[in-house]
Chain A
Amino acid sequence: MKDAHAYSHYRDAVIGAVVDLAKEHPEIVFLDADLSSCIGSTAFKKEFPDRFFNCGIAEANMAGVAAGLASTGLVPFIHSFGCFATRRAYDQLFISVGYTHQRVLVIGSDPGITAQYNGGTHMPFEDIALMRQIPGFVIFEPSDIQSLYALTIQAYESGSSCYIRTPRKGSNFRYSPDDEITLGKGIKLRDGKDVGIIATGVVMVDAAMEAAELLKAKGINATVIDLHTIRPLDTELIEKTASECGALLVCENGRYAGGIGEMIASHLATVNPVKMSFLNVGDRFGEVGNLKYLAESFGFTADNIARKAEALIK
């Protein structure tokens, strides 16, 4: 896999992957909804001016136009902030894309509290729950730039529609180009037998890894899983972790209802119920602030994860 370490921000990696794909695949087109400067799809426009379309601030229409384009054999990527890409355009994604079996790859940026200064109106907490309801959609949220690049390439190659839940600004390099990163397969980052911590996304995987160090100092060994692919769920790894650890803490930057924790709990309920605990946004709306403030406000910190993990196995 190409080394993605040259990318400065998450947005550069996801758009870079689409541009690289588009060089090989003339059927790829890109639609944005007046946020091309925010995600950097301007780079796609520069490279392929005849295959980029700014739909203006009209996300529902953008999703419908993408469905129409797909029906002619083109493969559209579309982008908006995650809340608008999903909530605002939901019936169009459900009917015009999903129900009709058209293929569209949706990039929803600024997941959960990473929307930071845009505040509560711009924070997608329920996007995973919504996109899960549309049969056929693959959903992933990377925890670093290398995996974002690799999974975007694989999502295209999968032949499915996809929801790509990605931060825009900032960077994090957890993986190298040689690491095995496979769509649909979670990655075990730490091995421990006392408790399993399943985390998704940059904020939660970072905090979970730090929490594992705090737990180790207390003599508790935690397994940490980067569950980048939310759908299809890596049930094999989840079942294995559940049986090895006997207790699971699921950490997600979004809402429990319909989210990752609920997916895992309902799966394990049918095969191997274990003690579980959940960290998510709870029953709250978003609010404005920097990432540090918001992480503390919602309890998305290493301290809180360690505390919940410890409480779970007591």
Chain B
Amino acid sequence: MDKSVLQALKDEAFEIRCSTIREIASFGSGHIGGSMSIVELLAYLYYREMNVDPSCPHKEDRDRLVVSKGHSGPAVYATLARKGFFPEEWLSTLNQGGTKLPSHCDMTKTPGIDFTGGSLGQGISAAVGIALGQRVKKQNARTFCIIGDGESQEGEVWEAAECAGAWKLDNLFVFLDLNGQQLDGYTKDIIPQLHIPERWSAFLWDVHEVDGQDFEQLEAAINDAKRIPGMPHMIVMHTVKSYGYIPGEGKEANHSMPITKDGAEEAIEALRKREGRA
């Protein structure tokens, strides 16, 4: 990856994180942990990979993203706003009555949201359907989907996995946000998610494993996956829950956290310092 591209992506990720933290602080609390862990992926997809047009969010042959772990909405909204799908002022309406930005991603409310997520396990089935629909309609389009490791405890994830594998949906790219945590604590203490690459391989998926906070690794995995025909693609992303919202990093209870407006600015300053930004 070219150094200037890498820097631009890092800058974008920083801005998405700032917007997300302020967005959640505007309401006073929210799903910070699972939002922050996927920021690099969102930046990469929307700025380097996906064929989307913010001025025409329902363009029929667009690439689509299903955020199956729909509680990551705040980060998705921050990305969509920065990309121009809707005004950035909307971000301060998160979860307020009548908002277009509800806690969990909702395709009926938010421009740029391709499918509703939040009832865990359901988004990946819809993503399989969308990828199949793109194939039926002979579109040269792809479906991207983000699932969680806690979410992978849902049986529906595996129904969808075997279905996509059997149907050889090679236009489907699913990213697993493997941050090791879920609402009640560490995944290893609840229902451990072990042998993940082997599991997806057994369901006939093309599997890649990356540091989900590393743009170069994400790019390499996505480009490798695009060269593998006849299989859906699983990119296992090792991530840190709450990455970039430093007060939440390493905390057990970081799924949803209260954030004050002052706290948000302090957290952004701390992140700015850690990233060596002026």
Contact = CB atoms under 8 A, between A and B. Distances in A.
Interface of A: 29, 50-51, 53, 55-56, 58, 60-61, 63-74, 91-92, 95-96, 99-101
Given A55-B163, A71-B107, A96-B116, A64 B132 contact: no
B136 interface: yes
B259 interface: no
A66 B60 CA distance: 17
A53 B160 CA distance: 13
Contact of A61 (B130, B134, B137, B160): B160
Given A69-B129, A74-B136, A64 B108 contact: no
A108 B60 CA distance: 31
Nearest to A100: B116
A72 B155 CA distance: 25
Contacts of A73: 60, 133, 137
B126 A96 contact: yes
Given A74-B137, A100-B116, A69 B122 contact: no
A65 B114 CA distance: 14
Interface string B59-91: 010000010000000000000000000000000
B224 interface: no
Interface in B159-195: 159-160, 162-163, 166-167
A64 B126 contact: yes
Most buried by B among A53, A64, A92, A100: A64
Given A29-B136, A64-B156, A101-B108, A72 B119 contact: no
B128 interface: yes
A69 B135 CA distance: 10
Interface in B89-147: 107-108, 114-116, 118-119, 122, 124-134, 136-137
B85 to A, nearest CB: 17
Given A56-B162, A67-B125, A100 B132 contact: no
Contact of B119 (A55, A56, A69, A95): A95
Nearest to A67: B126
Given A69-B129, A95-B116, A53 B167 contact: yes
Nearest to B134: A72
Contacts of A92: 122, 125, 156
B130 A71 contact: yes
A64 B125 contact: yes
B159 A68 contact: no
A101 B115 CA distance: 11
Contact of B125 (A60, A99, A101): A60
27 contacts: A50-B136, A53-B132, A53-B167, A58-B162, A60-B125, A60-B155, A61-B125, A61-B156, A61-B160, A64-B125, A64-B129, A64-B156, A65-B125, A65-B126, A67-B125, A68-B115, A68-B127, A68-B133, A69-B130, A72-B137, A74-B137, A92-B122, A95-B119, A96-B122, A100-B107, A100-B116, A101-B108
Interface residues of B, number: 31
Given A64-B122, A68-B125, A71-B126, 15 more contacts: A50-B136, A56-B162, A56-B166, A60-B159, A61-B125, A64-B125, A65-B132, A66-B129, A67-B125, A71-B129, A72-B134, A72-B136, A74-B136, A95-B118, A100-B108
Given A51-B136, A72-B133, A73-B60, A64 B116 contact: no
Contacts of A96: 116, 119, 122, 125-126
A68 B156 contact: no
A71 B163 contact: no
Most buried by A among B107, B122, B131: B122
A74 to B, nearest CB: 5
A27 B30 CA distance: 40
B69 to A, nearest CB: 14
B130 A72 contact: yes
Nearest to B116: A100
A53 B132 CA distance: 10
Contacts of B129: 64-72
A91 B66 CA distance: 18
B204 to A, nearest CB: 13
B122 A95 contact: yes
A100 B166 CA distance: 27
B96 to A, nearest CB: 20
Nearest to B128: A65
A60 B158 CA distance: 11
Nearest to B108: A101
Nearest to A104: B129
A50 B122 CA distance: 24
A71 B131 CA distance: 11
Interface in B208-251: none
Contacts of B131: 68
Most buried by A among B60, B116, B155, B162: B116
A60 B163 contact: no
B115 A58 contact: no
A71 B125 contact: no
Contacts of A53: 132, 167
Across the A-B interface, give the 9 residue pairs with the lowest CB-CB distance, nearest first: A68-B129, A64-B125, A72-B133, A61-B159, A68-B126, A65-B129, A58-B159, A68-B130, A69-B129
A68 B163 contact: no
